[in-house]
Amino acid sequence: MASETVSGSTSHRSSVSDSEIAHFSALAKDWWNPRGPMAPLHAMNPLRTDWVASRTTSLKPSEGKSLSLLDIGCGAGLASEAFAKLRFETLGLDASPDGIEAARAHQATYPLPPSAASLTYRNGSAEDLVEEGAEFDVVSALEVIEHVNDPQDFLHMLATLTRPGGMVAVSTMSRTPRSFAMAKLGAEYLLRMLPVGTHDWKKFIKPEELAAMARNAGLRMTDIAGMSYLPPRWRTTRDTGVNYIAMFTKG
């Protein structure tokens, strides 16, 4: 229902435009306010990160290490901090320098507990990591793919950054009349839960479309769940008509 900025430079087809980066950069100073413009993300975050963690228990990290996780489009680090607390060695990556600055400031002000794994942030593009040959056990792109210029290219990039046998988590919104009414008109214009212009409904992706593009990128869908707000909290459901989250395996 809300969105985090995608990592990437505007010179690549799979990356977002300067206007997308600027839109979310303007929100960076309020990102960690649970009652601010990112309130929906705060409410949804535990469901997303716990769901990812529960679907990656079959992965075996290197001896003496935790699973490595790349959080693409991390914004100011809501999911990144949660993943580190869940003991993933986490790299939060975002194209917005303001978002990364806010993430680092929050980490400095509220240090992670000793039980957490490492957490680092990087301002830059996922394309840079591809060029460096980086690979991770898990790659997450939460509320990101609906903001990229070419979702198919983006999924290829996620697959490239995932080690063989590793997993990719994607959450997004389905392009349905209900999502237009709820996530676009309702959340942005009527309830003012999100800043106007956060979403372009035409770029929402149906689950079957996401599955097909993932197959083209060498990823196999292994699980999918709807995400619905059932007071007092967000819960997983079978309803993928608005928000949903999917897990894929490489190879």
**pLDDT (tens digit per residue) in 156-169:** 999 999 999 999 99
78 is in an annotated binding site: no
Helical ranges in the chain per DSSP H: 18-25, 39-55, 78-85, 97-109, 126-132, 151-160, 177-179, 207-216
| % of the chain beyond a pLDDT of 90 | 72
Per-residue pLDDT averaged across 210-228, rounded?
98
Any idea which fold 18-250 has?
Answer: Rossmann fold (3.40.50)
**pLDDT (tens digit per residue) in 10-62:** 344 445 667 778 878 888 999 999 999 888 899 999 999 999 999 999 999 87
Per-residue pLDDT averaged across 138-142, rounded?
98
Q: Taking a C-beta distance cutoff of 8 angstroms, is the pair 12, 20 a contact?
A: no
94 is in an annotated binding site: yes
Query: Sorting pLDDT into bands at 50, 70 and 90, what band is 145?
Result: very high
Domain ranges of the chain: 18-250
226 is in an annotated binding site: no
| % of the chain beyond a pLDDT of 70 | 86
Q: Is residue 6 predicted with pLDDT exceeding 50?
A: no
73 is in an annotated binding site: yes
Strands 219-230 and 233-237, how do they pair? antiparallel
Burial of 133 (0-12, 13-18, 19+ CB in 10 A): exposed
